[in-house]
Chains A and B, each alone.
Chain A
Amino acid sequence: MMQVFRIAHREYMENVKTKGFWIGIIIFPILIWMMIELPKFLEERGIPTRHLVIVDRSEGLGEIARQRITLLNRQKTLDAFQQHIAEATKEQRKQKMDEVDIDPDQLLDKLEQGLDQLGNPDLEIQPFKPDQLVKIGDLLPEQMLLNDLQWNNIKKLLLSQLPEDAAEFTEPPLRFKEVPLPEGVSLTDGDQQIEEALRPYLRSEMMLESGDEEVELFGLLIIPEDTLEPEARVRFWSSNLADTDLIDAVLNSLSEEARKREYDRRGIESKAVAEVASMRVRSIKFNPNKSEGDEKVGIRDKIRQYAPIGFVYMLWVAIFTIAQMLLNNTIEEKSNRLIEVLLSSVTTTELLLGKVFGVAAVGVTMQCAWIGSLIGILMYKAGPSATWIADLIAAVITPELLGGFVFYFIAGYFFYAFLFAGIGSICNTIKEAQNFMSPLMLLMMVPLGTMTFIPNDPNGAIATTLSWIPPWTPFVMMNRMAASPPASEIYGTAIMLLISIVVVFWLSAKIFRIGVLRSGQPPKLLELFRWLRGSHS
């Protein structure tokens, strides 16, 4: 047993010392971090204010478009503002982790009350709770955002509620800003003339003057006189047509206006139409597996149902990276004949077990680092702007999922590790090993293929059948774990899996014993069978 430990220890230390191991450990949290941070970063800094020229030939439609553009700008500021509040109240909210149910109507009333009192120094403003401060941004109606005075007051009111040591709020740059036509071009010119004149600006060959700075022209929007007629087309020029936010928003606002006017023309009350359009038939979902009073299916349950997919991926990647590691260094030891020296000191079984355990320890270290950093990042990031993270954590950190993951990781690893070590022992080069690996790879692809449909029918016939096939048991059962499969199946497949691990160990120990000392061509299948029958030794 001591020998097994010594071999495992060396295997572990040598692997842990490699650059690949540390790159693997570090790259995962970096990727997760980037996945969370990158979109925000791009939004904040990556996209500068976009300048555009609006040529409005219609009556009033330009204003509607401009209002929508203002709304886009305000929403961006509001996001930044909410982020700021969340940041400033982080400490307070951490201390009070218990969730407060927030009633939207009450909160809005409270806001209006606060706004009324804002101008009057005699009146004491009823303090907002940190959670409320964060939440309120989600509730603001459009009219409030569009009303300059109200918008400024809201900002003033909420900022006054922040702790005194809070950083100052800096407004982010606008998303879109309208600029006047350049000199020498006038609104009275024809569309074609304007388009011709602005072409070099749109191609960034010339810069526009806006205030005292020179800016690039992002787009030109021409709203024709007869915009609301069916044949009319709003003309939008931009060298970046992939960014459709602006034109989509403008078209939406104009379409709304068109509909409103059409309703009026037909004598239909547009408000009534909006009310009718907002009607929805809703459902509540129940899960019979949950305890009484708790059967309602919420967002967490949805995440819970699909979270195992993530685990299966991780399981798969982890098992095959480290089993591959094992294959590689078995071949290394074999090809440089170190195995012979080792075998004068230890038995083949000790060697096989030592290697498998050592590499397993490497894998476990890597997994712990990954899961640890994942949970760490999620905890750190868990905030108002990302309530889904809290849901995810709550959904993932459950005994079934984590326990299942640990068990299936270990069991699945051993199953494949013994298989790979056996293959490694009969091959002298990675190339030779590949011949044996290809059928194995096909076998391994199956659970990946079934991964997405199993959550839809986790206790169905296919899932149940696949669960009983040992090479697939870890992945399929992991996938089903959230759906509370029957206990008999959990234990039955687990026992089946454990038995097959023992069988695979026995077979590969036998092959290993003969294979490691053999040089030259890998054996033919028939020869392998003879080894297993024991007629060669």
Chain B
Amino acid sequence: MDMKTSPIELINVSKTYGDFKAVDDISFTVPEGTICGFLGPNGAGKTTSIRMMLDILRPSSGTISILGAPRALDVRSRIGYLPEEKGLYKKMTATAMIAYFATLKGVPGREAKRIAGELLEKYGLGSFQNHKCEALSKGMGQKVQVLASIAHDPDLVILDEPFSGLDPVNQGVMEEVIQDIRSRGKTILFSTHVMSHAEKICERVVIMAAGRLAFDGTVDEAKSLLPRRVRVKGEGAAAALELMQDVTDSSPSSDGREGVVEFQLREGADPQQLLKRAFEQGVSLEIFEVVDPNLHEVFVHLVGEEAREAAFR
């Protein structure tokens, strides 16, 4: 594959249903070999965008390039996809189900069966190989579905809400699966509205809100959208540090814990200066911590209002 092309590239893509703009002029790229979180509140247009990337829906306007091809179906054997709503053929065995989807992607039948067996073994479902899908628990079924979407070793994997409905242990397994794919140099795009997963495993995030693109960049870049904060606890600390207008950006606020106050840091400011000041003033500190904003906060900051709007729509 040409190293310069991104596995996913959207340019001014829109999708309208009558008067309703499900996706409104979004552009972003996902570089090869990265795990990219596709975030956004319910109804933000994530699933519609994903369907357009997969050529299940055609965009109303704009261009999409997937693995260098204008239509995903041209490169379908190199794409793996897990849709948001999960289902299985109830009467098929786990192995047959995985193998079937692999053959649809061009893997020869015998080979597909072998791979299916190996994958089930690897992710702890070895003893369920010949169980019918209807006999599997929800978590197991979802694992089988994910395995079915990656059995043909695709270069690009698109997972729509892979964590939904899984218990914490299986969420861990899912993270492991995603990391494994990444470690083989593949590209992964997954959508979620649980920020902790994205924060844990993503290098990049794309955030959508109300059909529009709210952010596209690395996780660090996203976090830098909000100021870092310092939390302190100690007799007279709040009064002493409040005056340092060149370092902190705001008046102190409580973070909920008894006696702890929080300052936002100005961009580029060094928190060491605060520590120094406290030392000079003779304030004895029980707590002094520098906190990076988390993705959740960035997300709420970016889409908070629009998410609420979307909820009422």
Contact = CB atoms under 8 A, between A and B. Distances in A.
Contact of A341 (B17, B72, B101): B101
A338 B87 contact: yes
Interface string A337-348: 110111111110
A344 B87 contact: no
A3 B91 contact: no
Contacts of B84: 337
A342 B57 contact: no
Contacts of A332: 90
Contacts, number: 60
B91 A14 contact: yes
Interface stretch (B74-82, B232-240, B297-305): B74-82
A336 interface: yes
Which of A18, A338, A345: most chain B CB closer than 10 A?
Answer: A345
B56 interface: yes
Interface in A16-46: 17-18
B275 interface: no
A336 B73 CA distance: 22
Nearest to B58: A537
A14 B104 contact: no
Interface string B85-115: 1111111100000001101110000000000
A341 B83 contact: yes
Contacts of A337: 83-87
Contacts of A223: none
Contacts of B149: 341
B92 A14 contact: yes
Interface in A140-177: none
A343 B82 CA distance: 11
Interface in B169-203: none
Contacts of B100: 6, 10
Interface residues of B, number: 30
B51 interface: yes
A345 B104 contact: yes
A17 B17 CA distance: 42
Which of A333, A335, A337: most chain B CB closer than 10 A?
Answer: A337
Contacts of A345: 76, 101, 104-105
A332 B86 CA distance: 13
A174 B96 CA distance: 62
Contacts of A14: 89, 91-92
Contact of A338 (B76, B89, B103): B89
Contacts of B82: 341
Which of A336, A338, A344: most chain B CB closer than 10 A?
Answer: A344
The 5 lowest CB-CB distance pairs between A and B, nearest first, are A336-B87, A337-B85, A340-B83, A344-B81, A345-B104
Given A340-B81, A340-B85, 8 more contacts: A14-B89, A333-B87, A337-B87, A341-B145, A341-B149, A342-B104, A344-B83, A537-B58
